[in-house]
Amino acid sequence: MKKIKLYENLILLVLVILYFVTLKGIIPKYIVIYILIGFCFYFFPAKFYLMRGAYKGIDLASDLIISLGLALLIVGFYWHLISVFSVFGLLNFAFMVYLALHNDRLERGKYYHLITNHFLLLFLLSMLVF
What pLDDT was estimated at residue 44? 81
Q: What is the pLDDT of residues 87-99, one digit of tens each?
A: 888 888 898 888 8
Residue 127 CA to its chain's centroid (Å)? 13
Please check whether residue 120 is in contact with residue 13, taking contact to mean a CB–CB distance below 8 angstroms: yes
pTM score of the predicted model: 0.82
Question: Using the 8-state DSSP alphabet, how is residue 109 labeled?
Answer: T
**From the CB of residue 80, how many other CB atoms can be counted at a distance below 10 Å?**
11
9: left (phi over 0), alpha (psi -120 to 50) or beta: alpha
What does the H/E/C string look like for 60-75?
HHHHHHHHHHHHHHHH
Residue 68's domain spans which residues? Answer: 2-129
Q: What is the DSSP letter of 43?
A: I
CB 74 within 8 A of CB 29: no
What is the rounded average pLDDT of the residues 9-17?
Answer: 85
With 70 as the cut, is the pLDDT of residue 11 above it?
Answer: yes
Closest by alpha carbon to 70, among 24, 116, 115, 117? 117
More confident residue, 8 or 103: 8
**Number of structural domains in the chain:** 1
DSSP state of 46: I
Residue 114's pLDDT is: 81
